[in-house]
Amino acid sequence: MGSDAVAYIFDDAAYRERVVPALRRFVQTGEADGWLDDLLRRLAGGVWEFDFPRIRGLGFSFDAVCDYLGADFSFAGSGADRWSDSWVTRACPSATCPARELCPLHRSRQPPAAVDFNFLLEACVVDQCLGPGQFLGRSVSPPWYSDTLAAAGFSPEHPVFDDLRKLEHRGFVVGYQFANSDGIHGWLTAGETEAFHAHLRGLDLPRFEPSFAAMEGFRRDGAYEAPPQYSFEQLSLAFLRTVAGMAAAAGRGLLWGNDVSTYWNDEQAAEPSAASPARTTPC
């Protein structure tokens, strides 16, 4: 078992301005925006069965009652939060929320409701926000780079570690799925992605043309090989830096996902993205 970690170019503006408001309306009133209604029809013919009616039109407003998550469903998180934590640990524990008996993200409801909600959000992200991505490693998470960054002279208080925390923990409640490290671990906004790339720019890592084709060129017989004098961890961090640089150049954010479910939408996921500009200078 395991999962493929991938860094994606991410349209965080579309996520905040289109996906999140649509899901909030869907839960509160049952109304589905045109693109969401189309997505629900496509998902209905999928391999997996999800009970979306159990999270539709529940009659409460996240805006009015929720203080457990950010406005974009992000979790503030800490280093103690892990993808392997059970749903009871991840779910909202509020004893006073007026929607605690209805909300799919509260621990009073059975986990299938959270499974439905998280899968629908992930499907919305794939459909509306996700650009191309690059493999980073098998069953790895952003904290994996901590030793490499520390060896390069970054102190534990350096803001690059806060960026890694966001890439790992923003999806702790809404994002992570329910086994095997799968799901959306976290994301950075466009501004955060630009700053993150700037932090990494000077590191001694493998250098190459900033393109997905160039990164794919490191694959040999099905596996990625780092150039001499570099480890795979350093090559992986170079991949992450490169995707961040391409995203920043396009005014996009960065999303870290493990086995994000694109299987139902492979044709769209394979299309070239406007978020992947041609550049010739190394990231």
CB 222 within 8 A of CB 4: no
What pLDDT was estimated at residue 268? 44
pLDDT at position 281 is 35
CB 26 within 8 A of CB 32: yes
Q: Where are the beta strands (DSSP E) in the chain?
A: 4-10, 130-138, 183-188, 219-220, 223-224, 253-258
pLDDT of residue 277: 33
Domain positions in the chain are 4-269
What pLDDT is recorded for position 234?
A: 97
Q: Please give the average pLDDT of every successive group of 10 residues along the chain, which has 283 residues.
A: 92 98 98 96 79 96 96 84 83 96 95 95 96 95 94 95 95 91 95 98 96 96 94 97 98 97 59 35 39
Report pLDDT for 265: 64
* pTM: predicted TM-score of the whole model, two decimal places: 0.92
Q: What is the predicted pLDDT for the residue at 278? A: 32
